[in-house]
Chains A and B, each alone.
Chain A
């Protein structure tokens, strides 16, 4: 059933003339999940359109997901155009405003995250395209007074069997006066021309000449720049403020207190920053000041030895362990991680008595708009958000607490001026909302033949959704699903399984970080499984294979990766291979890493072979790019990343002490995509989880060193070497 309606016609009927002209198709608000918020709301000007065909033949696709590198400004237009059959060269994109119709079809709010953009729009956008095509054909058939069946759509034209044709631009006005057809016919997958074909990104040209506009690139007339002093200890409050020195700095215009700290407003960034740095602030630090990483680790380690809340239980794990021929156990740990998006956080706000306009790179439009409305004392519909290009998101720009948007609205409100709040790199790194710090206790038993018979996994860490409005949906029976995903649902055939969870409460703000819980659980599960394989004296690939017979898609990528990597072929001396497989966000990924280690303990990853099964592909070009991207992101964490805390303060600030992978460390990455007609899965995140364990397993295979903590720093490698 189509939820699509003709925006241009409604406008036409109401005003008698069409602004801009052409055919504009929207979708009804009652699209799955979008109902509750906008049900009674009526729209004035085309806020709900998805496609606009103009008389000059340009086709604008209004994209309701944020472009943060993952390629949605190309893949989502591809979905529309598969059915629309416009000339791909005439396709433009535009970011959607905030409106209920643009809500995520599964989550009921406008947002980008969870590697869901393509699958969640897979039906709706194809239907929009099909509706437009059928209307254009109907308009042409009517003009020629011929049967619609004698007309077909082709590259932006409707062509009659006689050879006559109209361009879409010529038909747009006429089509706009027609009703949306009820009987939308979507192509069979076997007839796809665009979906599944590698397609160059539409946003590349403006990203190579400096024209692409990110949040940081917005300038408003009369706007000031603000830099905010935030407490270095999370939860700290301003006790006293001396702004005298700050106010003496040339260009500084105002100093205002906001809930998150003290904002200095100036004509330029440099002066605002100098002003911020010159503030004399005494902070009330609060309980988090007692927090330090080593103490936390100790506390977590203790907890990991006690039973937690049960997330998964099958069979009798105690019995299984006792009866096992061989039992092994280990402890794993991963640190807090910052997202470190290349574009530091920023937000521009123009607050007026009856409106609020926001320019920002965000993944969370509805949440940010509502937060802004509340602070401004406006109705949500009085708040307008312009979604700019995001200089990276990775989850940081999807904050239920709306931190960087709320703060900017507070600053605009207090200073009564249009303002752009800029975070320095240090502000961004120290600003919290990290991937949680995790500690895991894990044990397993093998029978005489080396088959695992029991698996017991205790997880300790903070809940990402506790205290947010997601808690209701994502926490069940006291278990935050994002804490145990990838651990409570392991695919391996083990009869007795227990996975339990201790949810800690620590004053460090945490958030989803590319691949969320999987970023931690895959490291633990896939490393420990490797330990079991070696304990059973089995080949790690064959060992996994034997336990995955009921999981063909895991098996498929595992086998493909092994085969392409030449798993059974010997490697040059000094190199080792490691393998890992993991499902997340509906996509299956296996990776084989080739690794060497030098005498200083430094790891070098030479080659990564990646096999991915994400069901029906839409743009294989961006799938490959996202695999490469996620592997680099995961390698940065595996080799370098750690946010540590001392006396409640984050110790890292910039890329010198929070390094990310560099070009000279980049392995050769080979991506192989499984052909499939299954439902599309996610792409942005699923290649992150397997890389850390693949590298750790490779290190073990080449040097006999098992690292159970990330990052795998040279010091850690040397420490293990010395111990053994």
Chain B
């Protein structure tokens, strides 16, 4: 049995210790917003927050995620940066097929939580591991800036 704290809830799952967190989240908890894109840490579709940091859930064995606070796209809207990012994403009409967007949003939300006013270069640097085959990159850049502005309006980060 592996016990995981996901979206503020404890879950016990009976899986082999080496199963990547991604598949536990998707197949056992049925939180399907976290996506499978490459399985090798190359695309960012599977990004979740582990203790507030953006991590690739396809690269974390389930056993190693025990005792950590995990947040997925389904719950990121309850964080300040997550809510700001989701709102900005809709306002800028970022999603196309939408498949990569959970990962993009998780990555951007973690960035803004740590650095509420990132520069273009910092955005590029932080989000370049999140691939988008639909090519929504220009809107992603804009939406991160918009979310950053929204957060500033709201007072302290």
Contacts and interface: CB of A to CB of B under 8 A. Distances in A.
A68 interface: yes
Contacts of B119: none
A424 B39 CA distance: 8
B51 interface: no
- Residue of B35, B74, B102, B133 with most partner-chain A CB within 10 A: B133
Interface string A604-619: 0000000000000000
B43 interface: yes
Nearest to B86: A208
Given A342-B133, A391-B99, A655-B43, A210 B89 contact: no
B37 A344 contact: yes
Interface in B26-77: 26-28, 30-40, 42-43, 45, 72-74, 77
A71 B96 contact: yes
A100 interface: no
A213 to B, nearest CB: 7
A270 B90 contact: no
A268 B23 contact: yes
B43 A207 contact: no
B33 A654 contact: no
Contacts of A654: 38-40, 42
B2 interface: no
Nearest to A389: B98
Contacts of B89: 204, 208
Contacts of B23: 268-270
- Residue of B36, B90, B100, B125 with most partner-chain A CB within 10 A: B36
B155 to A, nearest CB: 23
Nearest to B40: A654
Contacts of A268: 15, 19, 23, 27-28
A364 to B, nearest CB: 17
A201 B133 contact: no
Given A216-B36, A270-B23, A625-B93, A666 B101 contact: no
Interface in B68-118: 72-74, 77, 86, 89-90, 93-102, 105
- Residue of B89, B96, B140 with most partner-chain A CB within 10 A: B96
B95 A656 contact: no
A425 B39 contact: yes
Interface residues of B, number: 59
A660 B137 CA distance: 12
B73 A209 contact: yes
Contact of B95 (A207, A424, A633, A669): A207
A662 B128 contact: yes
Given A342-B43, A389-B98, A655-B43, A661 B35 contact: no
Interface in A67-83: 67-71
B97 A208 contact: no
Contacts, number: 178
A216 B140 CA distance: 24
Contact of B90 (A204, A391, A630, A633): A204
Interface in A88-130: none
Interface string B109-143: 00000000000000111011111111111111100
Nearest to B20: A270
A484 B45 CA distance: 37
Interface string A205-230: 10111111110110100000100000
Contacts of A656: 40, 42
A85 interface: no
Given A269-B27, A625-B96, A655-B42, A666 B33 contact: no
Nearest to B106: A210
Contacts of B97: 67-69, 341-343, 389-393
25 contacts: A208-B90, A209-B74, A209-B86, A212-B98, A216-B32, A269-B26, A269-B36, A270-B15, A342-B45, A342-B131, A344-B36, A391-B98, A392-B97, A392-B99, A424-B39, A425-B37, A425-B38, A628-B136, A628-B139, A629-B96, A654-B40, A661-B135, A662-B128, A663-B128, A666-B137
Interface of A: 67-71, 200-201, 203-205, 207-214, 216-217, 219, 225, 250, 268-271, 340-344, 389-394, 422, 424-425, 621, 625, 628-633, 654-656, 660-664, 666, 668-669
